[in-house]
Amino acid sequence: MFAWHFTEMPYPHLPPLDTLSTMRVSLPNSHYDPKIGADLYNRYLDEYVIASELGLNLLLNEHHQTATCLDVAAPLSAAIVARQTSQGRICILGNPVANRNDPIRIAEEMAMIDNICRGRLDVGFVRGVPYEIFAANTNPTQTVEKLWEGIDLTVMAWTSQEPFNFEGRFTHRRMVNLWPRPYQTPHPAIWITGSSDLESIKKAAGRGYVFATFLQPYDKVKAMFDAYRSNYHDCGLPGGGGMAYMPLVYTAETEEEAEAGAKELTWYLAAKAEPQYRNPPGYVPVSFNVNALRGTYSGRTDAMRAQSLEFLKEQGVMIYGTPDSVAKQIKRFYDLVGGFDHLLMMQQAGSLDHARTVKSMTMFAREVYPQIKDLPRSQPLNAKAAAE
């Protein structure tokens, strides 16, 4: 089991949340103070350096036009930690290739970071959550197709050692010739995210990509991981595929202290957005929207928002407690979902301050990680056949 430190780099210095209709997309940036922001950026990056020194791996992502995430360019933050750390893997989860419209630029950036950190980079690709549609003005009805074409082009650019022509549905480049090539051969491990579409998960599994999902009840996670396992082949790629899950995690000396920390992390679940940002037209299939019209479908975060801390803990969406308790909860979740490979820990959210964040991650690294490190990794199907 690999453990990863993660924060979305939130900007929590907002008016009371009940006075805001949204924290995403259209919250005016008059609420942002660059002096506070400068401190936050440096603090969050310091925490990544500390996580590396503690032996944790580093997970980064990006979002746009939102107070929930100041990291608007994961390649930038990844490049900083690539240079400032010397151990642990670095994963961008992920590159919003459907929203960035430039897979070649992504291929270049990833190759450059992979060179700087001498092959410690894993490269995730994401379709992007619904809110992201608006900042990028991406047509919400074709993000899946754009995602896969973008991944294919990126991989072609990484692995081709001759210039080539590409005239796809979304990108046309008549002279693709990547300088630099990635440090890892044939290319860095690829990760992909999902939250419901089982066919997409099987596709990722068949290609040997790592599949990651976030903040979901264990039965839903198990259904997704089962779909992954049903088509999981080892393609001989770096990282070798596998499954990743992200809960909110807080480790403390006492249960009381842990619960107080966990409460602060729920800020992330409370992040609000107006309804039109949560389900742009065509983002989910017609069948989902039929249920939405009937009022029986709502997004993941909506379902989680209303729940109690106890419920979230029981479901594995939040993991918190003393080190032994946290280890026990992770093992329980591992068993409930049939095993997985990467524990992605959102250990900082909302107003959780630097001292308490570092205390929690230190305690995790020293007292929990050794207890779960040896949980067996997922075994690919017919690895031998795939190798031939």
Partner 1 sequence: MSRETSMLKLNGLELEVQRRGSGSPLLILTNEEELELDSPLLDRLADKHELIIPSAPGFGHSERPEWISNPDDIAYIYMDLLDHLGIRTISVIGFSLGGWIALEMATKSHTLFSKILLVDPYGVKTGGVTDRDFQDIWTLHPNKVAALKWHDQSKGKRDYASMSDDQLSIVARNIESFARFCWEPYLHNPKLRKRLNRIHAPTLIVWGENDGIATPAYGKSLAALIKGSRFETIASAGHFPHLEQPDHFLALANSFIG
End-to-end CA distance of the chain: 27
Coil, strand or helix at 388? coil
325, 252 in Cβ contact below 8 A?
no
How far is it, in rounded angstroms, from Cα 43 to Cα 353?
9
Report the site for partner 1 in 14-33 (rule: CB under 8 A): 21, 25-26
> Cβ of residue 14: shortest distance to partner 1, in angstroms?
20
- Binding test (CB under 8 A) with partner 1, winner from 282, 307, 331, 386: 282
> Cβ of residue 169: shortest distance to partner 1, in angstroms?
8
Piece of the chain touching partner 1 by CB under 8 A; list 51-59, 82-90, 283-291, 369-377: 283-291
Nearest to partner 1 of 25, 352 (CB atom):
25
Q: What is the DSSP string of 196-256?
A: S-HHHHHHHHHTT-EEEEES--HHHHHHHHHHHHHT-B--S-TT--EEEEE-EEEE-SSHH
> Cβ of residue 65: shortest distance to partner 1, in angstroms?
11
Angle at 209 between CA 93 and CA 382, to 5 degrees: 160
Piece of the chain touching partner 1 by CB under 8 A; list 107-115, 260-268, 272-280, 317-325: 272-280
Provide CB contacts within 8 A for 29, sequence distance 6+.
none
Task: Write the DSSP symbol of residue 167.
Answer: E
* 333 in contact with partner 1 (CB under 8 A): no
Q: Per-residue contact track with partner 1, 290 to 329, x per CB under 8 A?
A: x-xxxx----------------------------------
Report the site for partner 1 in 147-186 (rule: CB under 8 A): 169
Nearest to partner 1 of 295, 376 (CB atom):
295
Piece of the chain touching partner 1 by CB under 8 A; list 70-78, 289-297, 336-344, 376-384: 289-297
CA 302 centroid distance within chain: 19
Instruction: Give the per-residue SS3 of 91-120.
Output: EEEEECHHHHCCHHHHHHHHHHHHHHCCCC
Q: Per-residue contact track with partner 1, 229 to 268, x per CB under 8 A?
A: ----------------------------------------
Strand-strand pairing, 242-246 and 342-348: parallel
Nearest to partner 1 of 26, 325 (CB atom):
26
Q: Per-residue contact track with partner 1, 110 to 129, x per CB under 8 A?
A: --------------------
Piece of the chain touching partner 1 by CB under 8 A; list 109-117, 152-160, 273-281, 309-317: 273-281
How far is it, in rounded angstroms, from Cα 93 to Cα 42?
20
Q: Per-residue contact track with partner 1, 133 to 152, x per CB under 8 A?
A: -x--x-xxxx----------
> Cβ of residue 212: shortest distance to partner 1, in angstroms?
27
Amino acid in position 71? D
* 52 sits in which H/E element: helix 34-53
* 264 sits in which H/E element: helix 255-265
228, 297 in Cβ contact below 8 A?
no
Strand-strand pairing, 318-321 and 57-60: unpaired
Number of residues that bind partner 1 (CB under 8 A): 25
- Binding test (CB under 8 A) with partner 1, winner from 280, 321, 323, 380: 280
Residues that bind partner 1 (CB under 8 A): 21, 25-26, 134, 137, 139-142, 169, 274-277, 280-282, 286-287, 289-290, 292-295
